[in-house]
Chain A
Amino acid sequence: MRLASTRVADARKYTLGRVFDDVDKARHYAASIKQYVLDNLAPLLTQFEDNCRANGITVHWASTAEEARKIILQLCRENSDPGATIVKGKSMATEEIHLNPTLVEAGFDVVETDLGEFVVQIDGDTPSHIVAPIIHKSRIQVAQSFQREKLGPYSEVPETLAMQAREHLRTKFQQASIGISGVNFGIAESGRIVIVENEGNNRLSTTTPKVHIALMGIEKILPRESDLPLFLRLLAGSATGQKLTVYTHLIHGPRCPEEIDGPDQIHLVMLDNGRTRVLNGPYREILRCIRCGACLNSCPVYRHSSGHAYGHVYSGPVGAVLAPAMEGVEAMGELAKASTLCGSCEEVCPVAIPIPAMLLRLRNEATAAGSTNSGIPWQVVASLAKNDRLWRAALILLPLATKLPSPWSKVRSNPERVGRDFRRWFRGRP
């Protein structure tokens, strides 16, 4: 887990250093473009919608997750038979609104086609990283899952497993009536929908079925097509250390009558789900996020605990701000403490989001709202920490504390004592 994150973090630095003469300049320029979008969101959304409509895309607006699920369910019912196959490309927005259970309950055969999301689905699990959903799984676990689902003879070789998934999913692509995807960028000046990926499953999901439904967070706008190259490079470099993703779909509209492949209809569902509220509040810069996952990979807390520990679809530093900003400090304020405030996230963020400052502010808000542990045990610790002798005495008693029967001590073990007393050593130095 830690190893995987570190590898991608290193790849990110290497690639961005080669692609850009001045990475920081590029990041800050991208930040200013995204900030411009946030400062002018309403007129840009109007421009985007008008252009999408002119291109033949039907645009729907959903204020809440529930509305979005309703709209998508309705579209699926209107355009396919009961029990029909729906293929899905990887989309954090669809995870955010918990779309799959709704469609499954309505009787649809919903199939995640991104390899990582496919494994998550067959395991009844959730993704632990916004870009690498099964970064927490080993090949053995995947092999066992595939064997359980009878996808082929048992193998722990990633290539073999991937080919088994490919065979299984190829049938689904051909059968599917509906394809659902997210959107990475929506270009206001042309009404173009941009989706990036490496596997090709998103392309298949949005080409073979007759209806394509795309779910897009309202903040995912870029003003002009000429803004794309910068963001495509930053996204690929920051997410996986690639120069560019393998596929960049520049979707203009449904297929023309003479075309053989391509959807007859494209429905774009614009998702608010708390974004406008965040936009009007003190954490608005978090909406610059392009979902690259670089902050996750560089965060010492994320590397240690992995995504599931955050208890929210968005984890890592971005999740620690987004979750309480969208769902309220009372519910998710604890996440602001899941940070050492080292600042690594802000340094790697391709749109320079000031995450540590926001986390600090969130902590204050959470404490004021009473949603963090500032009760008696912590007050005791605080007074001990202010007194040198008391603190050192308390340290001697620490091994006892971890033996107490409490939820706190259950998940903690004593750190090993290595070496001597630091202060004594320091005083004794030549």
Chain B
Amino acid sequence: MPPKDIRSLWQEFETNLSILGGRVVSWTDLSKIEGRRWCVDFRVGELPLECGLYETTDPWTADVGITFGQLAVAETGTILISHESADRRLASLAPPLHIAIVRDEDIVQALEEAIDRLKPCNSVLITGPSRTADIEGELVRGVHGPKEIWIVVNRT
């Protein structure tokens, strides 16, 4: 099977992530989030994020957590986050909305390719928002982890 091109990979990724309740958004969508507190993964502080958000260092009271993703996996709508130094793990975990920024070229089709690129540091594969069906099998999102997850594709 010929390797898929980047656009169809992102298409596949978006389809699979939407089924789980996640979204792929654009930079302009971010600028529409007004008046919310956000907590970042420190490297993201380098990006020119101009939106109605103001920064906090406390992930527990933040409304939004913003992090980088190492790569996206089209097959399952998964993102891989590697916690290299000076990361805030809680930024992708405590706030109810998690936004992950992934570079356009950092997408693979299969899980195997993602595992191949694992770095020797703590990492996590995130596939959609937090969920449970413990009570009578009824699906509830955002039990402990984020209720919503947005992916921003960073095309420079």
Contact = CB atoms under 8 A, between A and B. Distances in A.
B53 interface: no
B135 interface: yes
Contacts of A226: 112, 115-116
Given A4-B137, A7-B137, A139-B135, A247 B123 contact: no
B122 A262 contact: yes
Interface stretch (B26-34, B44-52, B87-95, B99-107): B87-95
A131 to B, nearest CB: 10
A159 B137 contact: no
Interface in A252-291: 252-253, 255-256, 258-262
B143 A199 contact: yes
Contacts of B144: 113, 166, 169-170, 199-201, 203-204
Interface in B55-87: 60, 75-76, 78, 83, 85-87
Contact of B134 (A134, A170, A250): A134
B121 interface: yes
Interface residues of A, number: 60
Contacts, number: 152
Interface stretch (A60-68, A102-110, A227-235, A418-426): A227-235
Interface in A118-167: 119, 132-135, 137-139, 142, 158-159, 161-162, 165-166
B124 A198 contact: no
A76 to B, nearest CB: 22
Contacts of A137: 135-136
Contacts of B140: 158-159, 162
Interface string A174-204: 1000000000000000100000001111011
Contacts of B116: 226
A199 B127 contact: no
Interface in B113-145: 115-116, 118, 120-138, 140, 142-145
Contacts of B83: 259, 262
A244 interface: yes
B147 to A, nearest CB: 10
A260 B88 contact: yes
Contacts of A142: 135
A73 interface: no
Contact of A165 (B16, B76, B143): B143
A114 B85 CA distance: 29
B125 A248 contact: yes
A198 B130 contact: yes
Nearest to A120: B134
B82 to A, nearest CB: 9
A170 B96 CA distance: 12
A226 B143 CA distance: 31
B134 A132 contact: yes
A222 to B, nearest CB: 11
B3 to A, nearest CB: 18
Contacts of B136: 4, 137-139, 158
B111 interface: yes
A248 B124 contact: yes
Contacts of A113: 144
A159 B141 CA distance: 8
Contact of B89 (A8, A233, A262): A262
22 contacts: A115-B132, A132-B133, A139-B136, A139-B138, A159-B140, A162-B140, A170-B60, A198-B132, A199-B144, A200-B130, A200-B144, A204-B93, A225-B118, A229-B112, A243-B76, A246-B130, A248-B125, A249-B124, A252-B122, A259-B86, A260-B88, A261-B89
Given A119-B135, A138-B136, A198-B131, 17 more contacts: A114-B134, A115-B143, A162-B135, A165-B143, A166-B142, A200-B144, A229-B115, A233-B111, A243-B76, A246-B127, A246-B145, A248-B127, A252-B121, A252-B123, A258-B85, A259-B83, A260-B86
- Listed from nearest, the 3 A-B pairs whose CB atoms lie closest are A200-B145, A116-B134, A200-B144
